[in-house]
Amino acid sequence: MNTANVVAPSIFKPSRALSKVGPSAISRMMATTVDLQRQGRNIVGPHVGKPDFDTPENVIEAAIRAMRAGETHYTALDGSPAVKAAVQGKFARENGLDFTPDEIVVTTGAKMLLFSAFFATVQPGDEVILPAPYWVSYSDIVEMMGAKPIILPTRAEDGFRLQADDLERAITPNTRWLLINSPSNPTGAIYRKEDYGPILEVLERHPQVWFMVDDMYEHLIYKDEPFVTPAQLRPDLRNRILTVNGVSKAYAMTGRRIGYGGGPVPLMKAVRVVLSQSTSCTCSIAQAAAAEALNGPQDAVRRYRGEYRKRRELIMDELSTAPKLAYNSPDGTFYSFIDWRGYAGKKTPAGRILTDDEALCDYLLRDCGVAVIPGSSFGSPGYFRISFASAESVLREGMLRIRTGCTALS
């Protein structure tokens, strides 16, 4: 027998780090949507948090200049001097935070900074407190590190904001981090000075707990009020606060993959070790673009925010005509988190009972041609998320299909 072309059988064994996690719900929905579209299905997608605007022209030109100037080589692994100076200036100018260069790290997307910080600080048995709803990747990243996510449900009547009493009860000797995203993906909730104050008082009493704040949507606030971040409010606690941000959302630069953060030197030093053995530096051209975004004119940011505000009003108007869908008006981001439980247990025209939010989202996708993200992915079953970072025509058609699909339930 000729065995030259016979492939020996093999058994793939994933690592323990992957035993409890898989691709995020958003990634799965994006892949399924693309697959259905390839099959010829007409699917509208108010599900992806990806600005549909072009990157500002001055930022594009900065990237081109960088390439023509030969800035296409390695930089320092935590960011070039130019981009770190831009981040330093941004923090000082907009947040009143004076970070030194060794307190700043620039990474390949803000998610990489979150990942690296957890990789550098947690171990099996540690706990990370996540107020729910939370961004889908937070809990999976924590679990990949062998740590335990402690999910604290928030309430719609509290504006989906963590309450200090709930935090106090959740802290144990094993608690390592609290992570809050404001403005919040997926709810659009904003933590103001009066919201952060009691939380910071709790953390003051528990010195083993560090605070990670994800400020990615800082510039997408729709009321005339200042944005605040915890390190700004309590400088005495700065030695255990990591402030994370990036250029993806405000500047329509999701594909450039630039995140950045400021934090205590020992933490940032540990993050650099993780980066040195993983991504090394981020793209030098993207760094040049990010420096221009932070240093240059901010007209585009204001223009985008104005457009998102109009789309937010459109979504609120559309939702008001769907009697069994409950919602809070988002104060920030470009998301709306919708309570669908008025339709729980209803039957689709094909006879399927909607038992949970994943069943609802599957029905809306496959039967109605509209993609949304189930709330259980954000730690909050009973809801689904839509994004209004899409064109008005997409939003109107998407909301029409949602209303039509819900009306068809019996």
- What's the pLDDT at 202? 98
- As a whole number of angstroms, the distance between CA 81 and CA 74 comes to 12
- Residue 80 or 4, more confident: 80
- CA distance between the termini of the chain: 63
- As a whole number of angstroms, the distance between CA 38 and CA 176 comes to 45
Average pLDDT over residues 392-401: 94
Nearest to 305 by CA among 218, 387, 181: 218
- Which long-range contacts link 311-316 to residues 24+ away (Cβ below 8 Å)? 311/388, 311/389, 311/390, 311/392, 311/395, 312/222, 312/336, 312/388, 314/388, 314/392, 314/395, 314/396, 315/386, 315/388, 315/395, 315/399
User: Which residue, chain included where needed, has tokens 């939380």?
Assistant: 199
Strand pairing of 175-181 and 210-214? parallel
The residues, any chain, with a CB within 8 Å of residue 298's CB and separated by 6 or more, are none
Nearest to 262 by CA among 110, 82, 76, 77: 110
- In sequence order, what are the beta bridge partners of 147? none
Assign a CATH topology to domain 57-295. Aspartate Aminotransferase; domain 2 (3.40.640)
Name the range with the highest mean pLDDT among 41-55, 149-163, 319-333.
149-163
Coil, strand, or helix at residue 130?
strand
Out of 30-34, 216-220, 232-236, pick the least confident: 30-34
Out of 33-42, 168-177, 332-341, 370-379, pick the least confident: 33-42
Question: Within a 10 A sphere around the Cβ of 351, how many other Cβ atoms?
Answer: 7
- As a whole number of angstroms, the distance between CA 347 and CA 145 comes to 40
pLDDT tens column, 181-204: 999 999 999 999 999 999 999 999
Residue 380 confidence class, pLDDT cut points 50, 70, 90: very high
- What's the pLDDT at 366? 92
- In sequence order, what are the beta bridge partners of 262? 104, 243
- What's the pLDDT at 220? 97
Nearest to 139 by CA among 149, 131, 129: 149
User: Which residue, chain included where needed, has tokens 């699917």?
Assistant: 43
Strand pairing of 241-246 and 326-327? unpaired
Average pLDDT over residues 361-365: 93
Average pLDDT over residues 42-53: 84
Coil, strand, or helix at residue 341?
helix
- In sequence order, what are the beta bridge partners of 324? none
- What's the pLDDT at 2? 60
CATH architecture of 22-53+300-407: Alpha-Beta Complex (3.90)
Rg (CA), the chain: 22
Average pLDDT over residues 116-127: 97
Q: What is the DSSP letter of 347?
A: B
Q: Is the pLDDT of residue 299 over 70?
A: yes
Average pLDDT over residues 244-273: 97
Average pLDDT over residues 349-366: 94
Residue 371 confidence class, pLDDT cut points 50, 70, 90: very high
Q: Percentage of the chain with pLDDT > 90?
A: 85
pLDDT tens column, 220-242: 999 989 999 999 999 999 999 99
Instruction: Tell me if the pTM is above 0.85.
Output: yes
Q: Is the pLDDT of residue 329 over 60?
A: yes
Residue 67 confidence class, pLDDT cut points 50, 70, 90: very high
- As a whole number of angstroms, the distance between CA 60 and CA 57 comes to 5
Average pLDDT over residues 100-126: 97
Strand pairing of 210-214 and 241-246? parallel
Question: Within a 10 A sphere around the Cβ of 159, how many other Cβ atoms?
Answer: 17
Nearest to 372 by CA among 384, 363, 380, 389: 384
Domain map (residue ranges) of the chain: 22-53+300-407, 57-295
The residues, any chain, with a CB within 8 Å of residue 72's CB and separated by 6 or more, are 66, 284, 285
- As a whole number of angstroms, the distance between CA 356 and CA 377 comes to 12
Q: Percentage of the chain with pLDDT > 70?
A: 99
- What's the pLDDT at 43? 87
- What's the pLDDT at 48? 76
Q: Tell me the C-alpha to C-alpha distance, in Å, between residue 317 and each of 299, 311, 397.
A: 28, 10, 14
CB 344 within 8 A of CB 383: no
- What's the pLDDT at 328? 87
DSSP string covering 11-45: -----GGGSS--S-HHHHHHHHHHHHHHTT---B-
Burial of 35 (0-12, 13-18, 19+ CB in 10 A): exposed
Residue 3 confidence class, pLDDT cut points 50, 70, 90: low
Mean pLDDT for the chain overall:
94
Average pLDDT over residues 78-83: 97
- What's the pLDDT at 245? 98
Strand pairing of 383-387 and 373-374? antiparallel
Average pLDDT over residues 267-291: 97
From the centroid of its chain, how far is CA 319? 23
Q: Do domains 22-53+300-407 and 57-295 have the same CATH topology?
A: no
